[in-house]
Amino acid sequence: MLRYISNTPIIRRGIRHSFKGSLVLSFKNIHNSSINIPQFSVDDFLINESSLAHDQSHASGKENLISTETFISQFNSKTKIKAIENQIERLIEEKEFKTIWSIANLMKEYRIPPSNKLYIILLKACYLMNKPEATSLATRLYYEVMTLYEIKKGEQKITQDVHNGLAYFLLVSFQCCDDFTELITLKLLWENYIIDNVDKPIYELLYHSAYINTLLNTTQNQIAIDHFEKTFEELTQLDTVGNYHQFDRYDLLSTLPTIRILDIMASNKDCERLQKWLLIIHDEQRIQFNNKSNDCTIILNENNWLRYLNVGLLNNSYDLVKSIYDNFIMSGFSDGISTEDVLFRKDPTISSSFSGNVVLDSVNDETISQILHTFAINGDVNSTLALIESHYIHKTMKGEKALTKDLCLKIIESYCYHPDLQNNWSEDEIIISKNSNDESVRRVLDVLNSFVVKFDTDKNNNISYRDITDAMSFKFVNYKVYDKNIIKAKHKEFEISEKIKHPEDLDKVPGLPRKISNKNIESSYQGNILANLETLSRFILDHLEYLREKNYSKSTIILFVNCILNHTNLYQNFSGTVKALSTIHKIYPNMVTDYLNDDSINIILNSLANSNSAKISSFLLFKYLHKKKNVTHDHYRCFISAILRGDFHDCLQFFLYNYLVDYGGIIDPKIMQMLQSLPSDVIQSSASTSSLLTFIQDRTKIKSNQQVSNYPVISLDEINEFWRLMKLSHQEPYVGDANIAEFKRMYNHSFDVRDAHYLSYIFQLPVYDRVSLQ
């Protein structure tokens, strides 16, 4: 039934009305003042609902009934209706709705015929009750007065103001209707009575508003949104006959439950649709204010803007946040916020409404920071810089520190995420251009160096690779490389197509074109381009040469190196990390001492820990760190993780011996969890390893966060005695290529040997010679 109503067009009879005139309804013969068309929103419902608590009178129901009956009986027939009308209007002001309906029932009992004005007053009471059940009462009252009018058409005339008043209060009483079947009654009343008796086009909007409100109240939100958009489109389209719009766009938006619709879009996280309607409403509101100054109702107020801004921030909707920032926060500051704005306004982040009054005094530093974050991670460099510039002036005028580390990091992020080449890159254009290299990473390094120098002397605010590694990896993944194979492949494609067009010239079977790229890898058109080790090496060489040419600071070089190493750690493998180290070593032979810090070592070891070909490399790096007496709990975790591939028993015994000796039996919980997760059948295959893990389980202690509690629990003599009795290995073991059938973690010996030779050269260590092949 509801679908039938929704799909049935409204019957529009009579002359079309232009909406150029005012939408204020005047009932001079009924009320002392005119009735303004309000806009109903979610907030209005909450406010009205709270007012219902005043419905109860201090007197008991029986006393009210007696006093009302006495009141009615004391007037004669000529003055009775007028007195009742005045009494009910007073009771409406006092929100004594129960007494009003008591009077109505007594009038029925005393057979007192109500006047047309009294019907309007009772419908007004239904509207002001703001209760769902009032809608049904309003439709019955309206039908009753129309039925009486039809019966007594020759005897009694209803003026136009009365028709307008009856229709108005009937339609607005649907603002809290929660029974969609009432729409059937409303549609019948509209088509049979209202449309023929009202003389202003506003009632058509009120009809649609009643319809949409009822759909929203019955949680048919999507249908309500669709009906709202369809109504706006149809009722604002150009009339080809009259050459004007049927309805003024602003009047339509201010009459329909627009804010309720926007709130539903916000709750549905439909940011694209929400942004579209915010821009429409903002444009119409601006035009209205320019034309009529302060006489117009504000559809979008400060609370609405900020609520929708929060939706955009929570859902990282760049377009929505940018629209609100430009049209609300920065309204009136098209050229940015100047020093004069800071001096003569309350706050540089405070905007003004169209009337010139300050409306945004609640945009605090936290909100600005969230907006900045959205701009930065969406690569909007200009907006990021403009916002920070305003924030910088604001802080400076307050005597606070302006350009903080966090703000600088946002600028760096915006350059990393800036879609300059990654979205608009043509291989043909790159070939024609004089410079075929992607220089966007160089621009990031320029910005990075400027901030590194600024914070280099402040140890508490040094920029770490952790601050920028995600953004830098995004930039690395989207780095563009010109490949000569692209030309070869295109040439071969052309040759094949020509031979297909001219088969008579076909003298041999053509080769198939080579596949150059895979669009399914990561987010880049070319995939993770640095996964190609040759490309990775060329990329590192080019940018290290650039850093050296520019004479950038050592800290900047270390940051770049760590970002590259962490990129290979996260998105490639240990061989990629070794290749990166080898390439850096070509430019800086003393890189280990000059350009690798603790962060660098941690990254290298994390990459090693996840590799299936890093046993020999583990022994080499362990020897290097152990000589420096700088092997941490986490380092041991990485070494143990790396050797748990293939036949690991001797290697595990070696590292656990050194771990227990170095830390006196204090075990990191991650290492304990790693040991406990080893398959039991694999552990039981070696009696020595099984007894060792039992010893660790019984005699060691889990490392505490409180350093004072981490005192040794096993002495060196006790450790040596256990190793001697169980004949465990504590010397560097031979590393073979054997795997354990029951153990799924396979070991790749050949890659390990290759990478270990590179590491020996880079770290200037002797080659690990305890290698055996089975």
Residue keyed to tokens 């850096």? 584
CA distance 566 to 578: 12
- What band does 696 get if pLDDT is binned at 50, 70 and 90? very high
Cα–Cα nearest to 617, from 771, 473, 752, 418: 752
Which segment of 35-39, 184-188, 396-400 scores lowest on mean pLDDT? 35-39
Beta-carbon-side half-sphere exposure of residue 436 (alpha carbons within 13 Å): 10
- The DSSP call for residue 201 is T
Whole-Å CA distances, 173 to 138, 170, 307: 7, 5, 28
Q: Which pLDDT band, with edges at 50, 70 and 90, does 181 fall under?
A: very high
pLDDT surpasses 50 at 196: yes
Q: What is the pLDDT of residue 35?
A: 30
For residue 174, which of 227, 213, 201 has the smallest C-alpha distance?
213
Residue 39 has a pLDDT of 34
Please state, for a pLDDT cut of 70, what percent of the chain lies above it.
Answer: 74
Structure confidence by residue, pLDDT tens digits, 699-733: 999 988 877 577 889 999 999 999 999 999 889 99
Report pLDDT for 192: 93
321-331 mean pLDDT: 89
pLDDT-wise least confident of 88-102, 288-302, 507-521, 685-699: 507-521
* DSSP states of 264-312: HHHHTT-HHHHHHHHHHHHHHHHHHHHHHTTSS--SS-HHHHHHHHHHH
What's the rounded mean pLDDT across residues 268-295? 88
- Asked which of 289-293, 550-554, 561-565, 671-675 is least confident by mean pLDDT, the reply is 289-293
Average pLDDT, the chain: 81
- Please state the rounded mean pLDDT for residues 375-383: 93
Beta strand 244-245 with 666-667 is unpaired
Termini Cα distance of the chain: 81
| pLDDT given for residue 466 in this prediction | 96
> Percentage of the chain surpassing pLDDT 90?
54
Asked whether the predicted pLDDT for residue 472 surpasses 60, the reply is yes
- Residue with the larger pLDDT of the pair 497 and 549: 549
What confidence tier does 339 reach under pLDDT thresholds 50, 70, 90? low
Q: If you average pLDDT over residues 738-757, what whole number do you get?
A: 93
Picking from 359-368, 446-455, 613-622, which range would have the lowest pLDDT averaged per residue? 359-368
Reply yes or no on whether the pLDDT at 47 is more than 50: no
Please report which helix (H) or strand (E) contains residue 238, including its range.
Answer: strand 238-239
The least confident of 56-70, 104-118, 289-303, 455-469 is 56-70
- Give the pLDDT of residue 355: 38
pTM for this predicted structure: 0.78
What is the model's pLDDT at position 335? 59
How much is the pLDDT for 330? Answer: 82
Mean pLDDT of 154-174: 88
Lowest mean pLDDT among 181-195, 227-241, 242-256, 413-427: 413-427
242-276 per-position pLDDT tens digit: 555 578 899 999 999 999 999 999 999 999 999 99
Mean pLDDT of 175-202: 92
Query: Does 433 have pLDDT greater than 70?
Result: no
Residue 404 has pLDDT above 70, yes or no: yes
Q: Of 14-23, 147-156, 603-612, where does mean pLDDT reach its minimum? A: 14-23
Using a 10 angstrom Cβ sphere, with 0-12 exposed, 13-18 middle and 19 or more buried, the burial of residue 538 is middle
Chain position carrying tokens 């949680």: 219
Greater pLDDT, 714 or 460:
714
CA separation, residue 234 to residues 164, 207, 215 (Å): 24, 14, 19
652-668 pLDDT tens trace: 999 999 999 999 999 99
Main-chain dihedrals φ then ψ at residue 509, nearest 5 degrees: -70, 120
